[in-house]
Structure 1
């Protein structure tokens, strides 16, 4: 049986899942102490009908991949399903695009690296984002000028409400900035595979300031021969320099979304705050750099109890050792309050806060 989508058509005896107790500290990149009494691992898509039946016995279902975008409480009372589905394949080739499918349990960075190695460019700006592939559409991950929705074709998912397999296209996923339909209906769809439509007529995306300032890319751009591998390498270098390794210092990457304001608000803020970092959007609104706002409030490198703000990147909240979800969220609320007081701007967390 193919571990990706063929399981959607599988017949035969239904799998049996037996929940066990599990320490979840290793299943979230913040490294928060967390525990569940009901944990199962999904390594075959044919197990999902059994998971749907089992989930009826619990107050909810939490699907965990790499846990890179979650804040877990000390006790998770839901059924927790850890996705281990693996596989990457080329589904189709046309004159215009390549259609690539990756299983939900594949580490996202390894998928990006694999596509580049195979000569399938298009995902290179999204290199080194932590987590698993199944979580990428949930968050509509994005970095360095590219969002997942820009390369997205569809997902294969199991609808727990209907207990049936579905394929959801771009419109069905309702993508927005760090948002999708999956965030608004948690526990309904379990994504088993993600499909990407990569353009055959590839063009580098180099508009992001960090990429424009990168010396190796600048030289390649001047020579007119920028490659996807060069962008991949540059993005990895920049991310390593700016963001802490979760294996060394627990974190969930960027903790807050960059707030979007209207043009009039931007003009007012720019007049009041010299050096305001902002990016005009196609719809006339303006995206503000949340890290800059937090830095201006004096939080960079500071701590509140056992949670802190990374010294090199104010957008990253870190576990200083023994942090709980309560510690992280207390720090987040303090930062939000200060940004609101100083700038009148609302900061929204990026991670899913499990309650």
Structure 2
């Protein structure tokens, strides 16, 4: 039996029979004919994955590495294999004077997970810089490429969560970054930067995240546990009548993104413990395996209590950002709780 603690950053105390590392395209081709998240599970760093039980199906760990930088008159392009560490890519791009990804520093995970989740932070989403995504079709064995538009990116969403969720694996992501750089300073402490440079933004983002977020190497966690809710203007007006200080950010479609961490905090849950799971006292959007002994039932208890309390307080239903697995498949919280 292999402990799953080392393969997902929340470090739940469960086990797997079979763990296999993937290092080449041929390793991915060997999975053709199988169904992702049914016949096997694939993880990168496991930063967005929680194993709620012992895993009965094989676990594959993506260590497919490599990146290539090239350019034309207006853009830099970076082809990056899916097993590369995301933060390492951001650091590497800045070292090579390729700018644009600095707001996304210190987001845990691998490059292959970035398009699936459409990761974002501090006013930037990764889809703004994705030119195309190459994936392997697990049914046909073909290697296909999708343009940015074909990926159907949305808030923490993409085609890889829907039509391609169980029959594809991302191999390579091509990033396209303009040579004419402009800073994004819309959020939080970044507004206070004077004469911002890509490096100063990177350093500030790292400083902010390190001050608020626990290091998963020290305290098990999965980063942001819940999505920031998207609500209508009518809903926003209803909530701000009672809670005028609610942080909100207007989106292009007329809806508003609000801060899930603020909702959890104001609902009185910051620092609360549910079994072996704790709401982080510095950033309520983060749940932690604070004593290293948490199991799936602790996470389910904590998550459902938070969802119910926030809903009863604000009338807003939180949705988890992390993905849950029972012994043999991906599940929702509702599925697991009912089983």
TM-score exceeds 0.5: yes
Contact kept, 8 Å, 2:75 with 2:177, in 1: the verdict is: yes
CA deviation profile, 1:194-243 (whole Å, cap 9, x unmatched): 11000111111111122114xxx2x32xxxxx211111111101100011
Tell me how far 1:23 sits from its aligned partner.
2.1
**1:294 counterpart residue number:** 264
TM-score, scaled to structure 1: 0.88
Contact kept, 8 Å, 1:60 with 1:187, in 2: the verdict is: no
**1:347 counterpart residue number:** 318
Structure 2 CA distance, aligned partners of 1:308 and 1:238? 21
**2:126 counterpart residue number:** 148
**1:167 counterpart residue number:** 145
Contact kept, 8 Å, 2:35 with 2:138, in 1: the verdict is: no
The answer to whether residue 310 in structure 2 is matched with residue 331 in structure 1 is no
**2:331 counterpart residue number:** none
**1:188 counterpart residue number:** 167
CA deviation profile, 1:73-94 (whole Å, cap 9, x unmatched): 221222221111111211x412
**2:188 counterpart residue number:** 209
Unaligned runs of 5+ in 1: 1-20, 221-225
**1:272 counterpart residue number:** 242
Tell me how far 1:56 sits from its aligned partner.
6.8
| 1:250-269 map, 5 Å | 250-269=220-239
Structure 2 CA distance, aligned partners of 1:250 and 1:345? 27
Structure 2 CA distance, aligned partners of 1:288 and 1:262? 10
| 1:38-57 map, 5 Å | 38-53=18-33, 55=34
Structure 1 CA distance, aligned partners of 2:186 and 2:95? 24
Unaligned runs of 5+ in 2: 327-339
Change in 2 beyond 3 A, CA 1:58/1:70: closer
**1:64 counterpart residue number:** 43
Q: CA RMSD in A?
A: 1.6
Structure 2 CA distance, aligned partners of 1:50 and 1:279? 45
**1:109 counterpart residue number:** 87
Structure 2 CA distance, aligned partners of 1:104 and 1:51? 16
Structure 2 CA distance, aligned partners of 1:144 and 1:159? 33
Structure 2 CA distance, aligned partners of 1:230 and 1:102? 25
**2:282 counterpart residue number:** 312
Change in 2 beyond 3 A, CA 1:351/1:158: same
Tell me how far 1:57 sits from its aligned partner.
12
Change in 2 beyond 3 A, CA 1:58/1:64: closer
- Largest Rg, 1 or 2: 1
Q: Aligned pair count? A: 324
Structure 2 CA distance, aligned partners of 1:45 and 1:39? 18
